[in-house]
Each structure stands twice: as C-alpha cells, then as structure tokens.
Amino acid sequence: MLHHWSRRLFLAMSLAAMITPFVTKAETPVTVFAAASLKSALDELAATYADPVHISYGGSSTLARQIQHGAPADLFISANAAWMDVLEQDGLIVAASRRTLLTNRLVLIAGPDVDPDLTIEPGFDLAAALGQDHLAMALIDAVPAGIYGAAALRSLGVWEQVAHRVAQTDNVRAALMLVVLGEAPYGVVYATDAEASPDVRVVGMFPEGSHPPIRYPAAPITGANPAPAQAFLDFLLTPEAGEVFQKHGFGLPGDGA
C-alpha cells in the first residue's frame, strides 16, 4: 500500500513539474518598451490581445538607454531607426526579427486659446507668432520627435529665429501637454499626438522632405522573452492591428509613406 501511494505521489509531482513552467510562462506579461507617441493606439491593441501585456512608454532615447543598462524589456518599438540601430550594434535586439511597423507625419499645433494665422512654408514667421512665448518640442538632440522637428525647422530656414524659445521635454506627449495646458502656445508633435487630443488644433503639416522619414522599427530584445515578444510583434503586424493604428493616424510601411 505504501509503495502504491508513493508511486501516485511521484506521478503527481512529475505532472506538476511539467505543467507549472507552462502556466508561469502564460501568466508572465510581455513587457514592451514603446515610444510615447504610440500610447493611444498600443493601449487599445493591448486590451484586445489574448495574453497580458505590460507597456512602458517614454522617449525612444530614454528607453534605449534603459535597455542598454539591463531593463527587463521583451520588445522595443522606437520612433526612429537610429536608436534601434544603437541596440542592434550592441547585440541587444534579435536583428533578424526587426521590422518597420509604422510611419508618421510631423505637425505644428496650437493651443486651445490660440488663433493661428500661419502657413508652414520656407521662412514662415513662427518667431513673430511666438512672441515672448515658447515652442514646445521633445528633446532636440535625443528624442526622435524633437530631432525631426529641429530638422524640419532648419530646412525651412526658421530654426535660428526660434531656437532660444524652445521648451524641450523628455518625450513628445509631454510637449503635447505643454500646449494643451496653455504653457506654450505652439508645439511640434506627430500628427498622431495631435489626433489624440481634442484640445489642440493642427496649424499645418511639415513637408515630408523637410525632415528624415518618420519610421517606427520594432524588434524583440535578445535573451529576454523571445517567443511571447515575437508573438505580440506578429499581432501588431496583422491587418486588424494595422486598422487600429491607421484609425489613430499612423501610416503603414506598405502605404508608400
């Protein structure tokens, strides 16, 4: 009888050992580090995904540096190729799985109490429109939206007149909030950020040729949680997810944008 009981106990423990790793893996969220401009769309998509997803938003530069220092990310989605290139050079992403996920456009926005009379064109008088106030932008030397914005203003010949009036923020959503709250009358953000807030108006869209193409690459992090990360990335690449991204104003790489 004792031998029979011991055998049943051994079988039960063996079965538990086989089941437990699977359950633990299923209950472990996929941790995504994503550019702040993706928040509205990714939050909606994560809510429909079959497995739990934890998303940490921020400036692409900040997130990339955190990954370099060992932050527990499974998937990184950057707002430009440069920061993804840095991680690829460091061997920190699964390069073979890297994909261009989305495109975007850059816009000039005005706050709720501003009545803009500006046309975005070479030499447009943004400095006069600002007066003594500030232009809200993400960090111009680190955050993609700020890098794109500074490039566009330089290309149009107005950067030197407004550079001293730029209020820089850690990410593009923070720049958006400065305009929403009336702390800055104008801001340079992505078209998707403007669409996410009913409290700002779009003054105009910067010409695509005035700044580098805005692309969002995505890739799993090396040695992290590769299978669930790849599964979530595959989900984001589906036509159904693409429709959600487009609803929030993003373009898809195949659109020719």
**Does pLDDT of 121 surpass 50?**
yes
Q: Compute the distance between CA of residue 154 and CA of residue 150 in angstroms, rounded to an integer.
A: 6
Q: What is the pLDDT of residues 205-257, one digit of tens each?
A: 999 999 999 999 999 999 867 889 999 999 999 999 999 999 999 999 976 44
Question: Which pLDDT belongs to residue 46?
Answer: 97
Q: Is there a single domain that holds both residue 68 and residue 119?
A: no
Q: Which amino acid is at 63?
A: L
| 54 within some domain | yes
3-state secondary structure at position 229? helix
Q: Is there a single domain that holds both residue 135 and residue 187?
A: yes
- DSSP assignment of 57-118, as one string? EE-HHHHHHHHHTT---SEEE-SSHHHHHHHHHTT-B-GGG-EEEEE--EEEEE-TT-----
Question: Which pLDDT belongs to residue 225?
Answer: 73
- Model-level pTM greater than 0.85? no
Q: Is there a single domain that holds both residue 163 and residue 41?
A: no
| 16 within some domain | no
Question: Which pLDDT belongs to residue 29?
Answer: 86
Q: What is the pLDDT of residues 173-214, one digit of tens each?
A: 999 999 999 999 999 999 999 998 999 999 999 999 999 999
Give the angle subtended at the CA of 246 by the CAs of 241 and 252, to the nearest 5°: 80
Domain count, the chain: 2
Q: Is there a single domain that holds both residue 203 and residue 120?
A: yes
Question: Which pLDDT belongs to residue 79?
Answer: 93
- Residue labelled with tokens 């941790």: 31
| 116 within some domain | yes
User: Where in the sequence is the domain holding 96, given as residue range(s)?
Assistant: 24-103+215-255
Region of poorest pLDDT, from 4-18, 56-70, 179-193: 4-18
| 163 within some domain | yes
Q: Compute the distance between CA of residue 168 and CA of residue 88 in angstroms, rounded to an integer.
A: 28
Helix 81-89 and helix 144-155: axis angle, to 10°? 130
Query: Any idea what the CATH number is for the domain that residue 161 is in?
Result: 3.40.190.10
Q: Which amino acid is at 179?
A: V
Confidence class of residue 138 from pLDDT cuts 50, 70 and 90? very high
* Residue 201 contacts residue 105 (beta carbons within 8 Å): no
Q: Is there a single domain that holds both residue 124 and residue 54?
A: no
Length of the chain: 257
